[in-house]
Amino acid sequence: MARGQQAGQELTEVLNELWRLDSNRLRPGTDYTISLQGRAGYVAQGSNYARDRASAPLFAYVNEDKLKSIETYAHFINLLDNYEMSTGVSETVTSEELQENRLFIDAIVETDVMKCAHKYLVRKRQSPSDITQFKKQLYDIWFRLYHRERGGGEDSCGFEHVFVGETKFGQEIMGLHNWVQFYLQEKHGHVDYKGYKARDNKDTPDEDDHVLNLQFSWKGLVKPVGGSFIGVSPEFEVALFTIIFLMSTEKMTSVVVKVDEYMLELVVYRHGRSIGTSFPKLLSSNNRDL
């Protein structure tokens, strides 16, 4: 699949349906508040210095009680605790952790978002209609451990890379595209938000935007630009990226699609039968003239 191909009507429709069905999406200004502050500058890949254009955290407030009262977020937050940060350190997966992976999948397949994705994938002959088999497919895509480093142990999985974040040789940040993890890491003092990324001054985001391009450092390493959905549920991201992943067998799939008011490029890298990484890039938004 060519890079950045336009999504067809059918794909656009199903992704927008997922958006509409995401009843666990949090409401900006009510369930959480972000503070965008300044526009981040250019950082060369591999450099660990970034001028801080944001003295305060990105998340000014998150209603954690609400988060923990929603089943899929509660399981999701348990999972975030289970992973070692360094790639190359073999993951020791305890039976309790395997159980938590399964509980998370059990919880998300119950949601309308995931039911919609499943129905679409069955229709496209990409997923088994049997729910037990579908859960196994999701498990392989997101939780099967694989070697990210040559010669290392089984040290990584799609879930860890996308949602938790990892470091490579202690030199660059990989992954960490999830807002809940970003918020928790920021709260613990590990993440320092440096400012939003935008092409020019006309491209200024709003604090109720659900997709942002961010610059930040994590445990001393700089991520020059990272795309992230903000406020969306974990099941929404899993559903969306599973669909993109299953669309092609290429090493990298990238689709340009308008979801709600956001023109996005959705990028997925494949690692065998599993997700290597996946993230959104915000190209433009309705409420601003780009």
Asked, for residue 266, whether it belongs to a domain, the answer is: yes
Q: Which of 75, 177, 194, 210 is catalytic?
A: 177
Q: Is 118 a catalytic residue?
A: no
pTM of the model: 0.91
Q: Which of 75, 194, 210, 223 is catalytic?
A: 223
Asked, for residue 45, whether it belongs to a domain, the answer is: no
pLDDT digits (tens, 9 = 90+) for 31-86: 999 999 999 998 877 777 889 999 999 999 999 999 999 999 999 998 887 765 55
Instruction: Please state the domain count of the chain.
Output: 1
The answer to whether the beta carbons of residues 72 and 243 sit under 8 Å apart is: no
Asked, for residue 176, whether it belongs to a domain, the answer is: yes
Q: Is 190 a catalytic residue?
A: no
Q: Which of 161, 197, 210, 271 is catalytic?
A: 161
pLDDT of residue 62: 97
Q: What percent of the chain has pLDDT over 70?
A: 85
Q: Is 147 a catalytic residue?
A: no
Instruction: Supply the range of the domain harboring residue 199.
Output: 5-40+56-285
